[in-house]
Amino acid sequence: MNIIQSSPSPFPFKRFLVSTALALLVSGGFAVLSVNNAYAQTEEEAAAGRQFSAKTGGIVLVAQEFMTAEQYSAAISELNKALALPDINPYERSVINQLLGSSYYQNNQYDQAIRAFEAAISAGGLLPNESSNLRVNIAQLLIANDQFVRGAQMLETWNRNGGQLKPAHIEMLWQAWSQAERYDRALPWAERWFNAARPKLRKHFDLLNFMYNNLNMPAKQADIVKQMINRWPEDKTLWDAWASMLANGGREQEAFEVSKMLYLGGAYSSEADLTRVVQYYSFYDMPFQAAQILEREMNAGRIAKTSDKLVQLSDLLRQSREYKRAIPILEQAAASSGKAKLYADLGEALFNEGQCVRSEDAFKKAMDRGFDQGKAWVLIANCRYDSAAREARINCDMSDAQKKSAPWTAKRVTAVQAFDNVPASSREAGNARKWKTFIRAETKAVENRCIFEANVRKEQCYIAIRQAYANMVFAGEFILDEDSCLAYKPEYDNTYRRRVEEDE
């Protein structure tokens, strides 16, 4: 039994990734120096070239004023002017690109923001910690811009190089790898996120359930689902998932027990769930219980009373040998659908109940609709023969006329006639011939038995007659104790006494 896998609902990865990445960027800010601060350099920084020229600084200050006023397009224009100046130093180029990236970001131009931040790093004017912080921003923007693998790899590299991941970064990593459908790479981060959660909410359990399911790790998935059932025992979806895992793990009997418990506990109400319970009972050789559930739920309106369901119910009842209960259901299904197969099933159910006349009528309707004539006539003939077998057998005391008109004989004749109707081209033709040979042999055996019994009785009477003649010496007359043997005396005398008298 055909017996479906249940999996957790997919997470809204895309929406969550964007919101998480942007929230981190907004809360963390960009590692961008203001130009005012850039003028206030230490001597060491000035010696290292970390300062703005007056011309470059003036343009950038205008751009910052536009940024403060949230006029980012105007700021971008000014910053591009600054980048176009000849002989700007690496520090200036790095800071201008940082400001440009920030403006692009605020303008929702993420691709341009990423390129600007990368240019800020490649310009070579940032300190190591500044470049490191900027790489985190780039990674987050890549992820928010659907470049999940590249962003996740950059964030992991930053972490391996000494960067400290925040809980939100860990969350972003498993989501990015999941969005890329790289669940093997997502799993370590998902488990780390789960283990660190205080308190653990439903979303943390749902995540591991989802991961283990997609990575085909049934043992770990079973463990997490057990924990979830203990926390949320009223959640039917968890029990369904547990039953599915049991079934897919080759533990169908346990899966059936879980489904049965849920049904008996009233947890199932949908047609799909109720139909699955019926299928389980049927699969485990409990057709009567399956029929009871199906009939009860159809009467309650929770399973639609379609022709297919009526047929299923009748099949279950017939498997349970509840033919009498199956008949009215089959009649309803056959009448509503007009299908040959249903009329044939009805004929078979009536056959099993010994209702040959009604069975024959159903089979004829099935044949009219294209059902196999050979199979139908064989079943009609079998029903007639079985009906004959229930009649009193003929006895040898009957006359030939009585034997011929006896129900036992007459019904057997009609059975042979039904077998005669099986087409010669049918696969049942050979079977029909065997049946006719058997019936004729059975009739001949009855005739032979009567002949044998008559011969035995004749021999017994001959012996009694012979003894009666032998006793005449003592009795003085012919005395035959069994009056029924007197009928054989003329034949005996003609065969044996005439010779004796002639010898005398």
Q: Worst-scoring range by mean pLDDT, 37-41, 150-154, 396-400?
A: 37-41
pLDDT tens digits, 440-461: 888 888 888 887 777 888 888 8
The secondary structure of residue 40, as a DSSP letter, is: S
Residue type present at position 57? G
Domain coverage including residue 471: 389-503
DSSP letter, residue 493: I
| pLDDT single digits (tens) 63-93 | 999 999 999 999 999 999 999 998 899 999 9
The CA R_g of the chain, rounded to the nearest whole Å, is 49
Give per-residue pLDDT as tens, 41-71.
444 444 456 789 999 999 999 999 999 999 9
**CB of 223 closer than 8 Å to CB of 231:** no
- Tell whether the model's pLDDT for residue 12 goes beyond 60: no
pLDDT in tens, 188-222: 999 999 999 999 999 999 999 999 989 988 878 88
- Answer yes or no: is 155 within a domain: no
Query: Are the C-beta atoms of residues 377 and 403 closer than 8 Å to each other?
Result: no
Q: What is the pTM of this model?
A: 0.47
Q: Which of 114-118, 330-334, 395-399 has the highest mean pLDDT?
A: 114-118
CB 473 within 8 A of CB 496: no
Which two three-digit tokens encode residue 401? 């006329």
| Domain contains 378 | no
* CA-based nearest residue to 295, from 348, 332, 247: 332
Quick one: DSSP state of residue 226?
H
User: Does the pLDDT at position 263 exceed 80?
Assistant: no
DSSP state of 482: -
The CA distances from residue 441 to 7, 46, 189, 436, 446, in Å, are: 65, 123, 83, 8, 9
CA distance 488 to 504: 23
Residue 218 lies in a domain: no
**Number of independent structural domains in the chain:** 1
Q: Mean pLDDT lowest for which of 74-88, 106-120, 394-408?
A: 394-408
Task: Say which range, 9-18, 316-325, 376-385, 475-484, has the weakest mean pLDDT.
Answer: 9-18
Assess if residue 469 is contained within a domain: yes
> Alpha-carbon distance 253 to 169, whole Å?
44
For residues 458-472, give the mean pLDDT.
85
Residue 343 inside a domain? The answer is: no
List CB contacts of 370: < 8 A, sequence separation 6 or more: 340
Q: Are 436 and 429 in contact (CB under 8 A)?
A: no
Half-sphere exposure of 285 (CA within 13 A, CB side): 0
Give residues with Cβ within 8 angstroms of 416, minimum separation 6.
381, 436, 439, 440
Q: Which amino acid is at 181?
A: E
Q: Does residue 8 have a cis bond before it (omega within 30 degrees)?
A: no
Q: Is residue 221 part of a domain?
A: no
For residue 370, give the DSSP letter.
Answer: T
Mean pLDDT score, 134-152: 90
Q: CA-to-CA distance for 123 and 107, rounded, in angstroms?
A: 23
Report the distance separating Cα 116 and Cα 107, nearest Å. Answer: 13
Q: Is residue 482 part of a domain?
A: yes
Interatomic CA distance for residues 75 and 81, integer angstroms: 10
Please report whether residue 357 resides in a domain: no
Model pLDDT, residue 18: 37
- List the single range of 302-306, 373-377, 427-431 with lowest mean pLDDT: 302-306
